[in-house]
Chain A
């Protein structure tokens, strides 16, 4: 990989692989290129790799005063794992004392340490799992294990699961290039709709609007479209050029409003009571008639024997409100209404999806 392919270090954190323990094949760990910007960071397919997770058979072992060095073989390659000895392991001279009382915390702690020590001393042929940063020392790749343990895997279940999982991880994640550029170009347009819906929501809330037509709110979004052709240089520069050649500002504005209203409808924040030529939107939370209608349904139906115990199910309320009030009420809108009613203590949720009322 050439230096140009290497994404700038400021963007690395945006790649989730960077902060994860990457489960790369050992073969790849031995081949990945070290970053030219920051030593200790490696690149697999333009993904910055810092920490890795390996599982394999120990085929080589060397013990030093303060660490073990295990050669781990996963069937694709062999890599050294540097496993530091824990300070506490050294003080294992005195055997645990027998105590007359049943539970001796010190003895139990000793046993625990002993168990921990057994988990960290491996013999050739045993299975090791190690996680930690990749290092290159004396031209040799190694894993500086921050955690490591012996995997008790008598029927190879762990190793088989690992073998089946890793190719999937590669296909779904490591082999997919992380494209910041693509995100940067699609970002502003996606962001624009989100910003537009926020503006609309704030407006509806602030002014406690109960119903509106698109042209009432059209000019609220004007700044979003204007800002593109006038202000905000830099990252939106490309968009700028595109918009000059593309649809006019007016068209863009109407398109933006249409998309935003669709989002609000999908969220249930607004709905159209009647679908007609006249595009009239009702604001769910501020629609007194709708709130009353839902309240009435719950009050009446909670008295029925069928619903007396658990309360009315959301889907029952939904079908009732569609019959009695408007066929266009979405489940999202109803949920918003129920939430509002519950906040006002008008109704009580008896379970996740059941509502009742004290009358």
Chain B
């Protein structure tokens, strides 16, 4: 019935190989190009002097207003693509141009450290 929770991953974590096929994720990036005929969008992000690409399959969210160069937030499932690497099959693709990404990263890290803290506290009694 309800889909699985889409956990936030940074774009540079998407292609790290640690994500399983079918896993629900949420990530972001600047729309670099969009090929409607293939339902394929490419989001890119600069991080630590490297450019990270995330390929998004947009069939489920079409039609959408593609603004090249704008920030997008994507929510969907990980799929392995034929040519290696992963594709996110989008369930939600929102334009969030103007988002304070630095703050968003801080918020994500705070949330992660909170859960880490809590789990480390919770494990001993188990």
Name the segment of A112-120, A163-171, A240-248, A298-306 touching the other chain: A163-171
Kindly list chain A residues whose C-beta atoms are within 8 Å of the C-beta of B111. Answer: 75, 163, 166-167
Chain B residue at smallest Cβ distance from A80: B2
Beyond A75-B5, A155-B99, is A167–B91 a contact (Cβ under 8 Å)?
Answer: no
Q: How far is A26 from B92 in the complex, measured between Cα atoms in Å?
A: 19
> Is A284's CB within 8 Å of the partner chain B?
no
Determine the main DSSP class of B at the interface with A: mixed
Q: Does A53 contact B (CB under 8 A)?
A: no
Q: Are B92 and A163 in contact (CB under 8 A)?
A: no
Residue pairs across A and B with CB atoms within 8 Å: the count is: 80
A125 near B94 with CB under 8 A, answer: yes
Docked CA distance A305–B73 (Å): 66
Chain B 84-100 interface mask (CB, 8 Å, partner A; 1/0): 00000001111111111
Stretch at the interface among B15-23, B30-38, B43-51, B101-109: B101-109
- Nearest to B61 among chain A residues (CB) is A125
Tell whether A156 is near chain B: CB-to-CB under 8 Å: yes
For window 117-132 of A, CB contacts with B under 8 Å fall at: 124-125
Q: Which of A71, A163, A166 is close to B108, meaning CB atoms less than 8 Å apart?
A: A163
In this complex, the member of B2, B7, B97 whose beta carbon has the largest number of chain A beta carbons within 10 angstroms is: B2
Complex Cα gap A157–B98 (Å): 10
Residues of chain B touching chain A, judged by Cβ–Cβ distance below 8 Å, are 1-8, 26, 61, 73, 75, 91-100, 103-104, 106-108, 110-111, 113-114, 118
* Interface size range of chain A in the complex: 20 to 34
List CB contacts (< 8 Å) of A49-81 with chain B. 57, 59-60, 71, 73-80
Contact A167 B3 (CB under 8 A): no
Query: A60 to B3, alpha carbons, bound, how many Å?
Result: 8
**Complex interface residues of chain A between 171 and 213 (CB less than 8 A to chain B):** 171, 175
Cα–Cα distance between A74 and B75 once the two chains are bound (Å): 11
Q: Which residues of A contact B92 (CB under 8 A)?
A: 57, 59, 124-125
Sample 18 A-B pairs with CB under 8 A, ordered by A number.
A57-B6, A59-B6, A59-B75, A59-B91, A74-B5, A78-B3, A78-B4, A154-B95, A155-B98, A157-B100, A160-B99, A163-B110, A164-B110, A166-B111, A167-B111, A167-B113, A170-B114, A170-B118
Which residue from chain B places its CB closest to the CB of A167 in the assembled complex?
A: B114
Question: Interface of chain A, helix or strand or loop or mixed?
Answer: mixed
- Is there a chain B Cβ closer than 8 Å to A258's Cβ? no
CA distance A316 to B1 in the complex (A): 72
Instruction: Report if A124-B91 is in contact (Cβ < 8 Å); known contacts: A78-B4, A164-B107.
Output: yes
Measured in the bound complex, the distance between the Cα atoms of B97 and A117 in whole Å is 27
Tell me, in angstroms, the Cα distance from A243 to B75 when the chains sit together: 64
> For residue A77, which residues in chain B have a CB less than 8 angstroms away from its CB?
5
Q: How far is the CA of A163 from the CA of B96 in the complex (A)?
A: 16
A57-B75 in contact (CB<8A) = yes
A164-B106 CB under 8 A given contacts A155-B96, A155-B99 = yes
Q: Is the CB of B7 within 8 A of A71?
A: no
CB distance from B89 to the nearest CB of A (A): 13
A72, closest chain B residue (CB): B2
Option from B2, B95, B110 in Cβ contact (under 8 Å) with A71: B2
Task: Tell which of A59, A78, A156, A171 touches B73, judged by Cβ atoms closer than 8 Å.
Answer: A156
